[in-house]
Amino acid sequence: MSDLVLCDIKAGVAVVSYNRPEKHNAFSDALDDAFFGLVAELHERNDIRAMVWRGEGKSFSSGRDTIELGVRAPGVSDLDYIARGHARTKLLWTAPFPIVVALKGWVIGGSFERALLCDIRIASEDARMSLPEVAHGVIPDSGGVARLFQMAGHGLAADLALTGRVMDAEEALRHGVVSRVVSLEALDDAALEIAMGIAERSPVAVRLTREVLRNLATPEVERSMQQEWISQSVVMGERRKRDD
């Protein structure tokens, strides 16, 4: 396993940690490969009942590493690159176990969107969330805007996506984006307590409850991601023309 992602399994709970604290856990292609490779492996294990997703250091994740914005392997088109990212992102809601996300510090861009696609989000008091993609000349493209729209309505989704402003933990709690706010010191223990409580419940009841929730929410997210796939490719193509 890459040292960019850590995993500790306790009583049926996989605690998965981004481990790039010097970069506020900004995700690179290498970190993405390690993280989603691990999540795919956990899919196949019968002993995992829940997962906690967290970050080492001061932040959950500051989003895509800006050094790698627009970087592609030779011969990989924008359409292919985005499609690959979407296929990986879907592992978050097809997992056979609930995912509890512990948000702290910076929670930005694609990392915020991916957290929105998980089951439960709790935040420390210092958590700051934003969708700054438009300021970088691209669009949010990980399905999180659709989930934010479902949670909080058009007004907040448009405000965050179009302005890129920062939302703090208390505002996120008021809008239902997170379900609990705790102190930074209590965050990891609180997330683990939630996950372990779920892991102790009937696996069949947990899985079927998640299927009910997924069937309510996911079709809209998938439709949004299909539009994002095309739209982001157009935006990136136009941006590339300007840069040439």
What CATH number corresponds to the domain at position 64? 3.90.226.10
On whether residue 195 sits in a domain, the answer given is yes
Distance CA 119, CA 101 (A): 8
pLDDT tens digits, 78-129: 888 889 989 999 999 999 999 999 999 999 999 999 999 999 999 999 999 9
Helix (H, G, I), strand (E, B) or coil at 52: strand
Task: Give the count of domains, the chain.
Answer: 1
Question: What is the tens place of the pLDDT at every residue in 63-85?
Answer: 998 776 666 667 778 888 889 98
Residue 44 domain flag: yes
Q: Is residue 240 part of a domain?
A: no
pTM for this structure?
Answer: 0.93
Mean pLDDT for the stretch of residues 204-226: 94
Assigned domain for 217 exists = no
**Residues recognised as catalytic:** 113, 133
Q: What is the dihedral of CA 244, 82, 228, 101, to 10 degrees?
A: -130
Residue 157 lies in a domain: yes
Domain range enclosing 11: 5-199
Would 108 be classed as within a structural domain? Answer: yes
**Would 81 be classed as within a structural domain?**
yes
pLDDT over 80 at 205, yes or no: yes
Residue 238 confidence (pLDDT): 77
Residue 206: inside a domain: no
- pLDDT at res. 160: 98
